Structure 1
Amino acid sequence: MSVPGHEARVIPISAAPSYDEPDGPEPMAKALAFLRRRISGDYEVDEFGYDAELTDKVLLELIRPIYHHWFRVETSELKHVPEEGGALIAANHSGTLPVDALMMQVALHDEVGRPLRLLGADLVYQLPVLAHLARKSGHTLACPEDADRLLRKGELVGVFPEGFKGVGKPFSERYRLQRFGRGGFVASAIRAGVPIVPAAIVGAEEIYPKIGELPFLARLLGLPYVPITPFFPLLGPLGLVPLPSKWLIEFGEPIRTDGYDPSDADDPMLVFNLTDHVREVIQQMLSELRLRRGHAFPPFL
């Protein structure tokens, strides 16, 4: 964050720079240079508040050890993710807490070389610290206006159509997709003429097995739910440590929308049918990927 009198520069989305520094300076010199830029305000954000340097050098660095060493994430069929241009990644959502969104963000940044602009629920932007970090890391509100602008500017946009129904479902319903809402993500893809890339995430269901809820506490805190798991709230803060399940993320063949007229986004039956098709594709991918993964907790981690 810049100090008073030193505001970060706002740049167009498509002009966001790369902060990969050349070899040469020692780590300490790089760190000091980074701090100097942050203090002086010599860094750039786009119109949504996305801070590429902070995301690459700090936020994703904090998540990568979890990605590689705790969940041991493996990805497949990355060839289906466009190397450039707008595209919408639609994935299943699960895990009680939205850790799957962060893991997919690391996967696409590190293995495809593209930042993922995730669409988040209203609740995310009602929490002061979380809202600030979400904006800084490239996330924005899940609304048609923001989704359309990002897609038309050639960004890779991520959406979890199940929303809280998916991430908060009980463990007994694991890997069963919930309803996809009204298909707003499909309408945005049609308006922008970009492909929808289905994605299946296996592993998140086991990190916090939800066996119940505390509705009175959820109402008190204004949250959609407060989960009960085998370890939370029984073990207190220790119960918030996710279990080290084995993760697989697979990307399916893109579903093209450029054959439609943008006005087709206003056809509720067309949008419903395409939304249902995307859901069926992801469900099939999930079932196959779960069989391929096997046991969630291999004997030799």
Structure 2
Amino acid sequence: MSHDRSGSADSGDRPAGALSEGAGALPDEGGASRETAVLSDGAPLSVSLSDTDLRVIETVLAPLRAWTSPRFYGLENIPAEGPVLLVGNHNLLGGIDAPLLLPEVLRRRGRLIRGLAENVLIAVPGVRHLLHHYGSVRGTRQNCLALLERGEAVMVFPGGGREAVRRKNEKYHLKWEGRTGFARMAIEAGAPIVPVAMIGVDDAYDIIVDGDHPVLRPLRWVVEALGINRELTPPLVRGIGPTPLPRPERFYFAAGAPIDPAPWRDAPDLGAAAVELRAVVRKGLEEELRFLFAERDRDAGRTLAGRVRGDLSAFASGAIDRLRRFRLS
């Protein structure tokens, strides 16, 4: 593990200017452009963000950022250029916390994270347009390799949807099963892998009943009728009281040291090499998770109440200090 252990809160600073590589840009806004080359799902191979896009991201994420006061560690481990595969863990329900990573990596590393979206989301026309606009593509091997070969930063979640719709006894569990696709792609593309751990959502919600519970049988029927594996039936959760509003727990993110796939590049058996690399990446991600658990447990500002107490204490200390200096003068 190699990162700045001091951490940093999301300051809300907007990345300056439009970026040449990344996601989502309208052709006539802020000089942003969209290339004609497209991927297998019709997504543009390369897009750029306009100032308007950046303002939209800030506006949409502002309430979540204020509610969760996220902290980020180790983002300097994400290469500033060249292909890189960010391998993360899904938290409960998936997709709640990861969007906060986008503007932070844009601001600090000048990189736009290209996400690999589930087929069920890409299949919805309006959602597909929004995902494509901000850089996400259908999660296929071909699309991922095309982006890596172009030198993009691509994020994958090997646990997929099943990791996001976790069961009651699976808090922060990695559900990778036997998946090695991401490791194969990293080896083939020669792209370093950066494990990215995220925690907070599982602390902000309680699972009332999970997808296996008999009470959710009607929901499982609906899921199957939509052509989705019943294993992906979402749980019934609660946050503040009986509501779906998440408790204001702080979100934490940590990027570990890059893992170079070069030692596995010339292996005679790519399948075996991918299994070995997957184990190394999983170990790295689990190490980052343990680091975040320790940071969370020692953080007096983990909850909103703790953050308010800290702010009041800092304000009072500052006021007393200013009063003392005034008297001495």
TM-score, shorter chain, exceeding 0.5: yes
Paired with 1:136 and 1:163, the residues of 2 have a C-alpha distance of 22
**1:241 Cα shift?**
2.8
Cross-structure match for 2:260: 256
Q: Conserved in 1, the CA contact under 8 Å of 2:237 and 2:244?
A: no
Cross-structure match for 1:276: 279
Cross-structure match for 2:313: none
- Structure 1: gaps spanning 5 or more residues: 1-17, 21-33
Match of 1:227 among 209, 224, 235: 235
Q: Which moved more, 1:96-105 or 1:41-50?
A: 41-50
Match of 1:45 among 15, 23, 34: 34
Quickly say closer, same or farther: Cα 1:215–1:275, change in 2 above 3 A.
Answer: farther
Letter of the aligned partner of 2:18 in structure 1? Answer: Y
**1:112 Cα shift?**
1.9
Letter of the aligned partner of 2:221 in structure 1? Answer: R
Quickly say closer, same or farther: Cα 1:44–1:72, change in 2 above 3 A.
Answer: same
Paired with 2:252 and 2:271, the residues of 1 have a C-alpha distance of 34
Paired with 1:157 and 1:258, the residues of 2 have a C-alpha distance of 18
Cross-structure match for 1:202: 199
Q: Conserved in 2, the CA contact under 8 Å of 1:45 and 1:51?
A: yes
**1:120 Cα shift?**
1.5
Paired with 1:190 and 1:35, the residues of 2 have a C-alpha distance of 34
Match of 2:141 among 130, 139, 144: 144
**1:98 Cα shift?**
1.6
Q: Conserved in 1, the CA contact under 8 Å of 2:204 and 2:247?
A: yes
Q: Does 1:246 align with 2:237?
A: no
Q: Which moved more, 1:223-232 or 1:132-141?
A: 223-232
Q: Conserved in 1, the CA contact under 8 Å of 2:238 and 2:244?
A: no
Cross-structure match for 1:286: 289
**1:110 Cα shift?**
2.4
What is the RMSD computed on CA atoms of the aligned residues? 2.9
Quickly say closer, same or farther: Cα 1:63–1:259, change in 2 above 3 A.
Answer: farther
Cross-structure match for 1:164: 161
**1:173 Cα shift?**
1.8
**1:243 Cα shift?**
2.6
Paired with 1:98 and 1:268, the residues of 2 have a C-alpha distance of 30
Residue deviations 1:23-59, cap 9 Å, x none? xxxxxxxxxxx99936xx9852243334522773344
Paired with 1:144 and 1:253, the residues of 2 have a C-alpha distance of 24
Cross-structure match for 1:216: 218
> How high is the TM-score relative to the length of structure 1?
0.77
Paired with 1:81 and 1:130, the residues of 2 have a C-alpha distance of 28
Residue deviations 1:148-192, cap 9 Å, x none? 111111101101111112111134321221225421111111111
Residue deviations 1:42-93, cap 9 Å, x none? 8522433345227733441234314531111111112211011110000111
Paired with 2:246 and 2:191, the residues of 1 have a C-alpha distance of 35
Quickly say closer, same or farther: Cα 1:184–1:290, change in 2 above 3 A.
Answer: same
1:1-301 pair list within 5 angstroms = 19=18, 37=28, 44-46=33-35, 47=38, 48-49=43-44, 50=47, 52-53=49-50, 56-212=53-209, 213=211, 214-221=216-223, 222=226, 224-230=232-238, 239-261=243-265, 264=267, 267-294=270-297, 296-297=302-303, 299-301=305-307
SS at match of 2:147: helix
SS at match of 1:52: coil
Paired with 1:35 and 1:156, the residues of 2 have a C-alpha distance of 21
Identity of paired residues, percent? 25
Quickly say closer, same or farther: Cα 1:158–1:180, change in 2 above 3 A.
Answer: farther
SS at match of 2:61: helix
Quickly say closer, same or farther: Cα 1:106–1:66, change in 2 above 3 A.
Answer: farther
Letter of the aligned partner of 1:226 in structure 2? Answer: P
Q: Conserved in 2, the CA contact under 8 Å of 1:96 and 1:208?
A: no
- Structure 2: gaps spanning 5 or more residues: 1-16, 20-24, 308-329
Quickly say closer, same or farther: Cα 1:265–1:247, change in 2 above 3 A.
Answer: farther
Paired with 2:56 and 2:218, the residues of 1 have a C-alpha distance of 33
Structure 1 runs (4+) deviating above 6 angstroms are: none
SS at match of 2:34: strand
Q: Conserved in 2, the CA contact under 8 Å of 1:162 and 1:181?
A: no
Q: Which moved more, 1:155-164 or 1:207-216?
A: 207-216
Letter of the aligned partner of 1:242 in structure 2? Answer: P
